[in-house]
Structure 1
Amino acid sequence: MARRIADLWDPQGERHDVPTFPWGLAPEGLATRDQLVAKGLRPRGKAVAQVMWFSSKSPEPRFARLYEIATASPPRPRSPGQLASLAAAMRARRTCPECGEIRTYCLPTSLGICTPCADGFTAAA
């Protein structure tokens, strides 16, 4: 089957569940979730359309849901408990189990320890 941009053009939503547009041809006023987050917004409600494109990674077309920018709103502020929980989780990701130091970066999951410990450069205590 040939890959054609015309196969992705479905503004009435007849072939797909929702109105579908090729990459870069979506109407103004619609944005993907990532685009809304970049603007400091969160989508509210269901997706109203989608964009589709062909990728070399998959024989099937890929898609991204589109949300109305007008109905998007800022995210709710996090509670003090949520902030404390996130801080503890990040501290755990940065703490080396071998030397016990808290690093400025998240430990690589492939090593499970900080890079100085993996290289054998731990400081003598």
Structure 2
Amino acid sequence: MTRRRSSARFFDPTGARHGLPTWPWRMAPAHLRTRRQLTAEGLRPGGQEIAGQVLWNSRRYNAPGGVRAAYLYDVRLALPKRVPSERQRAALGKALAARRFCPTCRRDVGYVLPRRLGECLDCADETGTEAAA
């Protein structure tokens, strides 16, 4: 019974009450998707405005008023995801490799270095940096 009450509270397809067309959880029209759903389909919003929102009650994350929102985009207006060029991929690979390089022992440690330490965990243990932090 609680579910029906909250469903009615969030059902506003015209947007008169909430400012945007609003639906309860799992009741949005089939042509509207969240960003994550678009990404899973290989699409992106492509500059379009938010077409609506889904609202639901949540006891997690301390949402204001206990209500969480997910914005929706029209899949018919979505564009394909952009594909990076080979040079962009190479630059990204170099940037990610630099985050794994320890300046103290001068080796690729295989994981991203903690920013608070500035070096790999082995070097931090040897110098006692972690105890001071």
Q: TM-score with structure 1 length normalisation?
A: 0.78
Identity percentage of aligned residues: 47
Return the match for 1:17 from 1, 16, 19. 19
**What is the alpha-carbon distance in structure 2 between the residues aligned to residue 5 and residue 97 of structure 1?**
56
Q: 2:47 matched to 1:41?
A: no
**What is the deviation of 1:69?**
1.6
**What is the alpha-carbon distance in structure 2 between the residues aligned to residue 12 and residue 102 of structure 1?**
55
Aligned to 2:106: 100
For residues 106-125 of structure 1, the C-alpha deviation after alignment (integer angstroms, 9 at most, x for no partner) is 223344322333344xxxxx
**What is the alpha-carbon distance in structure 2 between the residues aligned to residue 51 and residue 94 of structure 1?**
40
Paired residues, what number?
Answer: 119
Superposed CA RMSD in Å reads: 2.3
**What is the deviation of 1:34?**
1.0
Aligned CA distance change for structure 1 residues 38 and 104 (closer, same or farther; 3 Å): farther
What secondary structure, in the 3-state scheme, does the structure 1 residue paired with 2:80 have?
coil
Q: Please tell me the residue identity of whatever aligns with 2:42.
A: G
For residues 75-125 of structure 1, the C-alpha deviation after alignment (integer angstroms, 9 at most, x for no partner) is 2222344323322221121112221211322223344322333344xxxxx
Aligned to 1:123: none
Return the match for 2:123 from 106, 117, 120. 117
**What is the alpha-carbon distance in structure 1 between the residues aligned to residue 55 and residue 111 of structure 2?**
36
What secondary structure, in the 3-state scheme, does the structure 2 residue paired with 1:4 have?
helix
More deviation, 111-120/99-108: 111-120
Q: TM-score with structure 2 length normalisation?
A: 0.74
**What is the alpha-carbon distance in structure 2 between the residues aligned to residue 82 and residue 92 of structure 1?**
15
**What is the deviation of 1:16?**
1.7
Gapped runs of 5+ residues in structure 1?
A: 121-125
**What is the alpha-carbon distance in structure 1 between the residues aligned to residue 9 and residue 106 of structure 2?**
56
Gapped runs of 5+ residues in structure 2?
A: 127-133
**What is the alpha-carbon distance in structure 2 between the residues aligned to residue 109 and residue 5 of structure 1?**
45
Q: Please tell me the residue identity of whatever aligns with 1:42.
A: R
**What is the alpha-carbon distance in structure 2 between the residues aligned to residue 24 and residue 98 of structure 1?**
52
